[in-house]
Chains A and B, each alone.
Chain A
Amino acid sequence: MSQLRADAAGPGAVRARPMSPFLGVWRWHVTMAASICTRVSGGALYVGLLIVVGLALSLAAGPDAYNRYAGLLGSPLGLLILFGITVANFYHLAAGVRHLAFDSGKGFLPTTANITAWLCFAFAIVASVTVFAIGLMLRA
């Protein structure tokens, strides 16, 4: 609307600058969900790396600090957060590869884009459950 009004006001008026699309303007679709999840999982991995750096710092600080930190990560809440970061990691990895294909001009057909979006979600869940099962089995 503001864009239309600026156009109607004539060439001398300052036109509204284009803005990035936000959640409110999209109808739900698997490709838009894949796009948003790429950004959200990136945000989760931002926190994830800070947790990893905290682990490295506690390891450098000695056994007491490390055992306390690792104990927090091994608690039920800690494991839940680690599982979330694992899902985000695998999702962002698959979505990143999908976007590298997009950047080289491949995969833009609507059916292809839909299928690869679903594949990213499926890969994230299957890989995370598998890795967590292996990790917990080796730990026990």
Chain B
Amino acid sequence: MSRSSLRTPLARARGLGSAHSGVGSFISERATSVALVPLTLWAVYAGIRLGQGGYDGAVAFLQSPLNAVMAALLVFVSALHMKMGMQVIIEDYIHLPRSKLPALLLNSGLCWLAAAIGVFSILKVALVGVGAH
């Protein structure tokens, strides 16, 4: 064997292969995709309804239990899906560790923050209704 280095082939290969954690991500991406088919169609319906009624109409809309649950699911599942999607984009295009890690952390933080604020706001309106701000 002609090698210019004393490192073994195994040492060179180690850390460069599969991370063995891809299957979970793959399944989560597809599962959230399937869930978002009905949820995004509902979002279009919600957008049309919210365009009509003003503040009172919007509160009344979210006080329907079905609408509140659909809205909360839409925000939560979308946040999970977009976190994974943006993570793939970051991993594809940003290769410098000093900008990649902050970008990944910012993406995770932003998505979880959006999910928390969205679900909390929807539940507050659904449970408390008008005039409790």
Partners in one complex: yes
Binding site for B on A (CB under 8 A): 10-12, 14, 17, 19-20, 22, 39, 42-43, 45-46, 49-50, 52-53, 55-57, 59-63, 66-67, 70, 74, 82, 86, 89, 93, 96-97, 99-100, 103, 131, 134-136, 138-139
B30 touches A100 (CB 8 A): yes
Binding site for A on B (CB under 8 A): 2-5, 12, 16, 30, 33-34, 36-37, 40-41, 43-44, 47-48, 50-52, 54-55, 58-59, 62, 71, 74-75, 78-79, 82, 85-86, 89, 92-93, 95, 110, 114, 117-118, 120-122, 124-125, 133
**Chain B binding surface, main DSSP class:** helix
Residues of B within 8 A of A103 (CB): 30
Task: Select one of A20, A43, A53, A96 contacting B118, CB under 8 A.
Answer: A53
A137 to B130, CA, bound (A): 27
A139 touches B51 (CB 8 A): yes
Residues of A within 8 A of B125 (CB): 56, 59-60
A53 touches B121 (CB 8 A): yes
Minimal beta-carbon separation of B82 from chain A (angstroms): 5
A43 touches B40 (CB 8 A): no
B59 touches A135 (CB 8 A): no
Minimal beta-carbon separation of B7 from chain A (angstroms): 9
Minimal beta-carbon separation of B132 from chain A (angstroms): 9
Minimal beta-carbon separation of B62 from chain A (angstroms): 7
- Chain B residue at minimal CB-CB distance from A46: B82
Residues of A within 8 A of B51 (CB): 74, 135-136, 138-139
8 further contact pairs, Cβ within 8 A, besides A20-B93, A49-B79, A96-B36? A45-B82, A49-B75, A56-B118, A67-B54, A96-B33, A131-B44, A135-B51, A136-B51
